[in-house]
């Protein structure tokens, strides 16, 4: 038996097609009582992404990055800089390939083994993006470059090696406010990775 559709798209108008695609969508939505209600929302599609927490159990450390996130500046983050786990937008590569590439570009570590731990909608009320979460162990001999991002993309990424306990304290103090990073740090603590 085919599930009855509960959404009927009336219109979908492109508002912006710059870094991502922003649409104004009008649709009918079938409520639990069987009646239909018309709603209108803006939907932002910037593609899907991947994020990884690099950790060293031996050293008791994690690798994070620090970079400018201009939207945070507009919402009160004084310098716009954010401390985050290494992440990137998927292109034609699958999430695992993407995160290995991003890790090397952003942090300078060449990793071969990663573990996928979950897939998450980070802001489902307005953004289509699913983020694929990974963890991966690193060692000093995996460092093949300084990292910092791809030349020409002007990412200006600072690579940080931080004691795990300090990273957890930085969440409590508000120095780390990035949701995906907080989730990965909590996952690492719950699963005794570091």
Was 87 annotated as part of a binding site? yes
Report the candidate in 65, 78, 83 with the shortest Cα–Cα distance to residue 160: 65
Was 167 annotated as part of a binding site? no
Was 106 annotated as part of a binding site? yes
User: Strand, helix or coil at 106?
Assistant: helix
Distance CA 114, CA 169 (A): 25
Was 50 annotated as part of a binding site? no
Report the candidate in 165, 159, 170, 172 with the shortest Cα–Cα distance to residue 188: 165
User: Strand, helix or coil at 126?
Assistant: coil
Report the candidate in 102, 111, 112 with the shortest Cα–Cα distance to residue 157: 102
Please give the annotated binding residues for Mg(2+), written as ranges: 87, 102, 106, 155
Please give the annotated binding residues, written as ranges: 87, 102, 106, 155
């Amino acid at each position: 038996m085919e599930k009855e559709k509960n959404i009927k798209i009336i219109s979908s108008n492109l508002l912006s097609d710059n870094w991502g695609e922003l649409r104004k969508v009008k649709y009918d939505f079938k409520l639990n009582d069987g009646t239909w209600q018309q709603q209108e929302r803006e939907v932002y599609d910037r593609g899907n992404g991947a994020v990884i927490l690099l950790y060293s159990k031996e050293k008791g450390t994690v690798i994070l990055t620090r970079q400018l996130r201009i939207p945070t500046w507009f919402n009160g983050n004084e310098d716009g800089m954010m401390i985050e786990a290494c992440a990137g937008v998927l292109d034609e590569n699958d999430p695992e390939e993407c995160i290995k590439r991003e890790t090397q570009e952003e942090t300078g570590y060449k990793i071969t083994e990663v573990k996928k731990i979950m897939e998450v909608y980070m802001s489902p009320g307005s953004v289509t993006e699913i983020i694929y979460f990974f963890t991966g162990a690193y060692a000093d001999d995996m460092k093949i470059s300084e990292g910092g991002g791809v030349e020409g993309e002007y990412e200006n990424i600072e690579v940080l090696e931080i004691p795990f306990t300090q990273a957890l304290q930085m969440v409590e103090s508000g120095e780390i406010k990035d949701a995906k990073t907080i989730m990965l740090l909590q996952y690492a603590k719950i699963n005794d990775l570091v």
